[in-house]
Amino acid sequence: MDERYDVVVIGGGAAGLNGALMLARSRRSVLVVDAGAPRNAPASGVHGLLGREGTPPGELLATGRAEVRGYGGRVETGEVTGAQKVGGGFAVALADGRRVRARRLLVTTGLTDELPDVPGLRERWGREVLHCPYCHGWEVRDQAIGVLASGPMSVHQALLFRQLSQDVAYFLQGTTLTDEHAEQFAARGITVVDGAVAGLEIVDDRLTGVRMADGRLVPLAALVVAPRMVARAGFLAELGLAAVEHPSGAGEHIPAGLAGVTEVPGVWVAGNVTDLTAQVGASAAAGAMAGAHINADLVTEETRNAVLAHREAFTRAAFTADVFTAEAEARLCEQVAGDRRHGL
């Protein structure tokens, strides 16, 4: 418990590092604890991020860590196992047995993608098994793309990927289409494939198609799935925070208000832990916004405490002075009235 920080950032992805950067540049003591398992690790590059288009995820994070450290922030590899309210702040338990103190918490631990139960999907995840047209669509443009009916966003995915290729097939996987969706697919030339997908066909370490349960082989260069996205937030249970079902039905998230503020005072969230569909740029922006609001919150607290200390010092000096002047009495009465108005 000897280590004390203004803010502990739990999670060192784009959201966490950008939040830490804003705080460190505001001369806050910051510790970033990152488990080292970023969601986008299998991807070859980050896309849709102005100025850093195509940068390998590991390279982007390494640059971010160096920038945070350059302003005095600490970044450690580790895992947070729990957090408790202690006084006006928090005690954060780490997997290595340490406990550190923080005045505020910024949680940016991201999410876990729970993939459909089809053999081979996990091994190709982030390569030819995709989910986001904005993250990976350009790389598979004009190729044969399959979309697996695996969640409430699957139809939407098919329509988005149709923008990138004229050869799109939708695998029903035992589901049915509404009349409206069937008409949309027919109008856009999206092929509907009935039956269950049994597994992937891999040749020379590349996806070449999917094998149907009835033995059919459907040639493909990419397969799109809609994973169930679940916030990594179990360690927040002691604080009374838990992931809840997202309104979209796509998974579970930690609800948040303006700039990532949660229902637990002193705890903010940013990135995929609260916004399931945020890309790297959006997560980084949310982290920056949360970091700025945390700093402002700390400034407000520090100013309030400074005012109270200033008043206490003046009152003590006034009562111990040899002469209690009319001016001092007037100022004291004014302070008392102000305290009452503000509930102090």
Mean pLDDT of 159-180: 97
Instruction: Identify whether residues 254 and 105 lie together within a single domain.
Output: yes
Dihedral angle of Cα 191, 192, 194, 196, to the nearest 10 degrees:
80
pLDDT at 311 (0 to 100): 87
Q: Is 211 in the same domain as 232?
A: no
Q: Say if CB 91 and CB 84 are below 8 A apart.
A: yes
Residues 57 and 100 in one domain: yes
In this prediction, residue 327 carries a pLDDT of 61
Mark which of 201, 224, 247 sits at the end of a domain.
Answer: 224
For residue range 67-109, list pLDDT tens digits in order.
999 999 999 999 999 999 998 899 999 999 999 999 999 999 9
199 contacts: CB under 8 Å, gap ≥ 6: 118, 119, 120, 210, 211
Mean pLDDT, residues 46-59: 94
Q: Which of 280, 279, 261, 281 is nearest to 269 (CA)?
A: 261
What is the separation, in whole angstroms, between the first and last Cα of the chain?
31
The answer to whether the beta carbons of residues 38 and 271 sit under 8 Å apart is: no
pLDDT digits (tens, 9 = 90+) for 109-152: 999 999 999 999 999 999 999 999 999 999 999 999 999 999 89
Range of the domain at 74: 4-113+228-302
Number of domains in the chain: 2
Residue 246 sits in a domain of what CATH number? 3.50.50.60
* Residue 151 and residue 164 in one domain: yes
Q: Please tell me whether residues 157 and 179 are part of one structural domain.
A: yes
Asked, for residue 342, whether it belongs to a domain, the answer is no
178-197 pLDDT, tens digit per residue, is 999 999 999 999 999 999 99
In a domain, 327, yes or no: no
Side-chain-facing half-sphere of 106: CA atoms under 13 Å:
40
Is 321 a domain residue?
A: no
**In this structure, are residues 83 and 89 in contact, taking their beta carbons and an 8 Å threshold?**
no
Q: What is the pLDDT of residues 302-333, one digit of tens each?
A: 999 999 988 888 777 766 765 555 666 666 66
Q: Is residue 24 part of a domain?
A: yes
Angle between helices 14-25 and 280-320 (to 10 degrees): 30
Under a CB-based contact definition with an 8 Å cutoff, are residues 126 and 148 in contact? no
Concatenated DSSP letters of 218-241: EE-SEEE--PEEEE--GGGGGGT-
Last residue of a domain, one of 204, 224, 244: 224
Q: Is residue 311 part of a domain?
A: no
Q: Is the pTM of this model over 0.75?
A: yes
Whether residue 68 is found in the same domain as residue 97 = yes
Indicate the burial class of 68 (C-beta count within 10 angstroms; 0-12, 13-18, 19 or more): buried
Q: Which of 171, 205, 224 is the last residue of a domain?
A: 224
Which pair of structure tokens corresponds to residue 15? 């959201």
Nearest to 90 by CA among 33, 45, 17: 33
HSE value, Cβ hemisphere, 13 Å, CA-based, for 191: 13
Q: Using the 8-state DSSP alphabet, how is residue 125 labeled?
A: B
Is residue 318 one of the residues assigned to a domain? Answer: no
Q: Are residues 220 and 237 in the same domain?
A: no
3-state secondary structure of 187: helix
Six-digit token string for 274: 């609260």
- 192 and 292 in a single domain? The answer is no
Q: Is 189 among the domain residues? A: yes
Integer-rounded Cα Rg, in Å, for the chain is 26
Query: Do 159 and 201 fall into the same domain?
Result: yes
Contact 251, 276 (CB under 8 A): yes
Residue 298 shares a structural domain with residue 240: yes
Per the prediction, the chain carries an average pLDDT of 93
Q: Assign residue 260 a region: left if phi > 0, alpha if psi is -120 to 50, beta otherwise?
A: left
Confidence (pLDDT) at 330: 64
User: 295 and 244 in one domain?
Assistant: yes
Distance, in Å, from the CA atom of 73 to the CA atom of 91, rounded to the nearest integer, reads 19
Q: For residues 100 and 14, state if they share a domain.
A: yes
Residue 209: inside a domain, yes or no?
Answer: yes
Distances (CA, A) of 112 to 147, 160, 232: 20, 23, 7
